[in-house]
Structures are given as structure tokens and as C-alpha cells.
């Protein structure tokens, strides 16, 4: 059993994943700030124009899907690496 633990500790894969997790956690932090900025702009557009910007809605839908993919990767729900290792998530709208 000790040999199994030692083999896992010296294996490169978990350490590479840890590095990617740190990078993606930082990227997700930036994405969340962008989402808040888009939400503020959309709110202002609702007040001024009466409806949200469809292009911003489409873009923010992709950002939310990207953020969700990052969270699933960080919590080991998925092993598939998020964008740029895969394609950008498509919008459902």
C-alpha cells in the first residue's frame, strides 16, 4: 500500500492537474468579474432601452457555460479540460 501511495505521489499527472486547476481557478475568477460587468451593462440597457443586448446575452451564455465547465473540472466531476484544450462552449440560445 505504501508503494501505491509513493507511485501516485511521484506521478506527473496529478501535479499537472493541480497546476491546471490553479490556472483555471484564476481564469474563473476573471470570468466571474466579466460576468458581473456584463450584468451591470445589461441592467443599464434594460433601464435605458427596455431590453437587453442580444449579443451580450449570447456572449454571457458562453461565458457561463465556460465557467461551469471549469467548476466541473476543478471538482473532479469531469476530466475533460476546459477551453482552450477543448472547443468553446456553444450557446444554447
Q: Which is more confident, 50 or 10?
A: 50
- Please, what is the average pLDDT of the chain? 92
Of residues 71, 70, 62, the one with CA closest to residue 89: 62
- Give the pLDDT of residue 93: 57
Q: Total domain count for the chain?
A: 1
Q: Is residue 85 part of a domain?
A: no
Q: Is residue 32 part of a domain?
A: yes
Residue range of the domain that includes 48: 2-74
CA dist 90 and 83 (Å) reads 11
Residues sharing a CB contact under 8 Å with residue 92, sequence separation 6 or more, in sequence order: 61, 65
**Cβ(52)–Cβ(46) under 8 Å?**
yes
Which residue blocks in the chain are alpha helix, DSSP H? 2-10, 12-49, 54-74
Amino acid at each position: 500500500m505504501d508503494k501505491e501511495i509513493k507511485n501516485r505521489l511521484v506521478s506527473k499527472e496529478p501535479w499537472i492537474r493541480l497546476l491546471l486547476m490553479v490556472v483555471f481557478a484564476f481564469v474563473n475568477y476573471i470570468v466571474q468579474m466579466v460576468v458581473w460587468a456584463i450584468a451591470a451593462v445589461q441592467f443599464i440597457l434594460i433601464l435605458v432601452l427596455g431590453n437587453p443586448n442580444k449579443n451580450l446575452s449570447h456572449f454571457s451564455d458562453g461565458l457561463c457555460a465556460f465557467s461551469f465547465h471549469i467548476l466541473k473540472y476543478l471538482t473532479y466531476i469531469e476530466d475533460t479540460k476546459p477551453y482552450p484544450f477543448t472547443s468553446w462552449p456553444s450557446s444554447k440560445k
